[in-house]
Chain A
Amino acid sequence: MLRRRRQLGLGIILLLLVISPLFLSAYPLTLLTQALIYAILAMSLDLLLGYTGLASLGHAAYLGVGAYSVGVLTTHYGANFWVTLAVGVLLAMVVAAVFGLVALRATGVYFLMITLALGMVVWGLAHRWVSMTQGDNGIPGIPRPDLGLPWSLARAMPFYYFALAGFLLAFWILRVIVRSPFGQSLVGIRESESRMRTLGYHVWLHKYLGFVIAGVVGGFSGVLWAYYNGFVSPGDLELATSGEVVLMVALGGRGTLVGPAVGAGVIVLLKNFVSVYTERWLLILGVVYVLTIIYAPEGIVGAIRPLTKGIKLTSPRVKASP
């Protein structure tokens, strides 16, 4: 009964997303496209943060890796979408695999700091490896993908559906993962690592796989991001962006998958809407963040859940290692 209610809710949202181009003009549609792409990044972080309990402040690095792969391959080698997708995702996987080895030596706040550091390394490379990334100038002129479809992805509506397809794919994959036994073990690790270990689970391997998967999906979002903007620059992966993704997860409700997607939508819309009316949008945004964290630590979806009488989530605490 409760499950049906939840499925109905999700179904309605899906329907809305599919028919929205019919009643939204081009500009709000592009904002929604942006929100969908960031939602992918936020959901990927949720796997790590919400489900496994590992807070990372360097997640934007994977968006960067995916985006720069597209940038370099399309402008230097004229590569098509399938190639850039494959390379972007694979490269993100490799980076996550390497970083995971370093980062997972710590937990809690130390993990936070290490992921921050690693995110900065990638940012530093984007900034200074000028021959590859064009440095501060960024890489302009990324053409929209040509998938041989009768509708050109250069137009807002077809690209929206393209991004929506990507979002649904990412959502489906992550949903399958979190509902699987593997996903359940991640939650178990979040609740108590020692208990899982005594039960015989290979804790490190679970965390590592979660870390890498989060990176891969993050890279996927980066690929879409580059095509969306037609442009990639170091600003896309700076510390502030990593921070913003964490906020999206917290605002939406960690450990819910849907929550971070909602959080991404809220933040993208708020940023663009508020800045039209006042130059003080940054201040307002900051206030919203602070209030949410203090008064609604479970985020929007986390707070709504009790209304639908779903499973109550305890807000996961990030503990320092003893």
Chain B
Amino acid sequence: MEFWIVQTFNGISYGALLFLLAGGLSLIFGMMRIVNMTHGSHYLLGGYIGLTVIWQTGHFLFAILVGALIIAIVGIGEWSTVLKRLGGQELGQVLTTMGLALIFQDLGLVIWGGDPYTIPTPAVLSGSYQLGTLFFPVYRIFIVAVAIGVAGILWFVLEKTRAGAMIRATVDDAEMARGVGINVPLISMGVFALGAFLAAVAGVVAGGFVGVYPGADFEILPYAFVVVIVGGMGSLKGAMVGSFMVGLLDDFGKAFFPELSYFTLFAPMAAILAVRPTGLFGRT
């Protein structure tokens, strides 16, 4: 019994992290059909920036904010200088983001060196809550809280604000949205920046228990894609469901079929795609 509770908790907290990571990617994909290979770079560089901020100031939440803002600006830069030019050329955009990802990877190595680091987290978030013989690490609970918070804010913005309505309209039908006077290029840039922002938040938050190190950008990319694919491209609800499904599948897969741990992750993904090529909640 202890096993099931702990594993479920692990799966959910890992899923929460994946949501932070993949939520932005799903939106970018839904709106602009861009397979954004720099998403992993945003994650890692956000983590590195957060690390530096904590070293300088010691404030964890501040580090998350600064990291996310800077990466959002980087995202805007990417969008304006490179991606906008290739509007509509989906393959070109994928390839460009791949080239950019290589550039970012090397920049990370130059600026922060090759040593692996963990982000020092505030003492209040360390340790675990003990319930009987079960231990629930506080930090993981924090991650779940952050994910729920972010999901809540995103939902509110998308459903209840005018900006959100414009975003939803553009995702549904960009031509129509342009027709009714919505500034589609601006919205697209905003969504791209938002995706980068969220990835950076995930980077700092994950940095606390997984660490920041060279290679983390490309390591995390397949997982982000799995969530987007499973949950459905362009759907925030899908990203949420997909994240928790992937988190739980990964966890229990590792526990029951350690031999095939990556397979238990990617095979269901392929299976879902075989049945519904746009993912569970995806929009065509």
Contacts and interface: CB of A to CB of B under 8 A. Distances in A.
- Are A and B in contact, CB atoms below 8 Å, in the complex? yes
Interface of A: 49, 55, 57, 101-102, 105-106, 108-110, 112-114, 116-118, 120-121, 123-125, 127-130, 239-240, 243, 246-247, 250, 280, 282-283, 285-290, 293-294, 297, 315, 317-321
Given A120-B266, A286-B100, A105 B90 contact: no
Interface stretch (B147-155, B201-209, B255-263): B255-263
Query: Which 7 pairs between the two chains have the least Cβ-Cβ distance?
Result: A124-B262, A289-B99, A286-B102, A286-B103, A106-B277, A283-B106, A290-B99
Contact of A290 (B33, B96, B106): B96
Interface string B90-110: 111011101111110111001
Interface stretch (B125-133, B186-194, B222-230): B222-230
Given A283-B103, A290-B99, A293-B96, A121 B89 contact: no
Interface string B58-93: 000000000000000000000000100110111110
Interface residues of B, number: 48
A252 B35 CA distance: 22
Interface in B204-257: 218, 221-222, 225-226, 228-229, 233
B277 A124 contact: no
A124 B95 contact: no
B96 A294 contact: yes
Contacts of B267: 121, 124
B278 interface: yes
A109 B265 contact: no
Interface of B: 29, 33, 35, 37, 82, 85-86, 88-92, 94-96, 98-103, 105-107, 110, 218, 221-222, 225-226, 228-229, 233, 259-263, 265-267, 269-270, 273-274, 277-278, 284
B78 to A, nearest CB: 10
Contacts of A319: 90
Given A102-B274, A123-B262, A247 B95 contact: yes
A210 B92 CA distance: 22
A110 B261 CA distance: 25
Contacts of A240: 218
